[in-house]
Amino acid sequence: MEFPIVGLNIDAFKLILTVENLIKLAHHRHGGRIRDTDSFVKDDNVSYKIDYECKSSQAQGGKSTGSIYIRGIKGKDGRDSYKFCHEKSVDFCELDSQIVIEVLQEVNRMMPPKAPEEPEPQ
């Protein structure tokens, strides 16, 4: 699954920290565990990755692995363009849904809707 994140002054690092915290908090309930992380920053290019595992929703006692990527360009003028990617090897569980929902909510908090402009009095 993937979706674009485009806007002014997007904090991609905050998004990846949000994902890490969700996985860590899901340890007891979903067996969430971060297996590996990686990051790359060069000039305007940014890339963050988290490999993780959680309890399988299909095989009792089994594990399901996945990866989260946030890649893109930090614009010099504040116009940033990223792509959020969520890859799973087997099944999609409740933790995966929580990750996607929380990232979307965090993006919405970063880019609140603009208030409608009031028409000028006539």
DSSP structure class, residue 115: P
Claim: this prediction has a pTM higher than 0.85: no
The two three-digit tokens of residue 45, written as one number:
């290019």
Please give the distance of CA 108 from its chain centroid, rounded to a whole number. Answer: 12
Contact 90, 56 (CB under 8 A): yes
Cα separation of 106 and 66, whole Å? Answer: 21
Q: What is the pLDDT of residues 34-73, one digit of tens each?
A: 999 999 999 999 999 999 999 888 888 889 999 999 999 9
Angle, CA of 37, 44 and 51, to the nearest 5°: 15
Please state the domain extents for the chain: 2-109
Q: What is the pLDDT of residues 9-33, one digit of tens each?
A: 899 999 999 999 999 999 999 999 9
2.40.128, 3.10.450, 3.30.310, 3.90.1720: CATH of 2-109: 3.30.310
